[in-house]
Amino acid sequence: MKLKEKDLFLPALIGGAAAGLTSTIPFLHCLCCLWVVAGGVLATYLVFDRTSDKSILKISDSLTVGALSGLFGAIINSILKIPLTDYYLSWNRRFLESMARFMDELPAGWDSLMQMRYEGFNPFLFFFGLIINGAVFIFLGAIGGLIGYSLFKTNPGVNNEKTMAQNQSDSQPSL
């Protein structure tokens, strides 16, 4: 029995939605890479949870579901950022103004960065950002899939119980 692509779609969508949403929320978006990796781990967990025969799951399935999760996360993140663009620009402007108070010499063009305003939706910048976000999110989602695979894969031949020392001298440190 082999895992089908449709079995990966819904977990990837859920993991991507979680990653895209949390990396868009102000102040949480500072940990954007963490949320994308966590979305890949979540998607992998959901695949493992939904599969009755865990032995059919391969590392390539985890990579695929993690990468798909990253792709969905990038799309959701890019769409959700549209209404928040003005907020992000004002936050960046305040950050640059506070940096200017502590720096004696500012590079040329510093003032023009503080004068930036939101001019409305720009399709070119949207798709350019989507491509860049997509590449980064897919890579980080795949890493999350690998982490999830290592966390949730059970090896039937490995005994996870701790073995006790046979005699007392085996557990004492050497002098």
Res 157 pLDDT > 70: no
**Domain region containing 37:** 6-81+137-152
Distances (CA, A) of 135 to 76, 83, 96, 105: 14, 22, 28, 36
Judge whether 128 lies within some domain: no
Judge whether 167 lies within some domain: no
The total domain count for the chain is 1
- Please write the tens of the pLDDT for every residue from 47-65: 999 888 777 888 999 999 9
Judge whether 118 lies within some domain: no
Q: 158: pLDDT confidence band, cut at 50, 70 and 90?
A: low
Q: What angle do CA 70, 74, 77 make, to 5 degrees?
A: 130
Compute the radius of gyration of the chain from its Cα atoms.
Answer: 23
- Please write the tens of the pLDDT for every residue from 80-137: 988 887 777 777 777 777 777 777 666 666 666 666 665 667 788 889 989 999 999 9
Judge whether 106 lies within some domain: no
- CA 130 – CA 166 distance, rounded (Å): 60
- Please write the tens of the pLDDT for every residue from 132-151: 999 999 999 999 999 999 99
What's the average model confidence in pLDDT over 10-17?
94
Q: Would you state the structure tokens that stand for residue 122, as one six-digit string?
A: 């720009």
Judge whether 107 lies within some domain: no
Judge whether 103 lies within some domain: no
Judge whether 32 lies within some domain: yes
Of the candidates 33, 39, 37, the residue with the CA atom closest to the CA atom of residue 15: 39
Predicted confidence at residue 161, as pLDDT, reads 54
Res 168 pLDDT > 70: no
Tell me how crowded residue 145 is: count the other CB atoms within 10 A of its CB.
Answer: 31
Judge whether 64 lies within some domain: yes
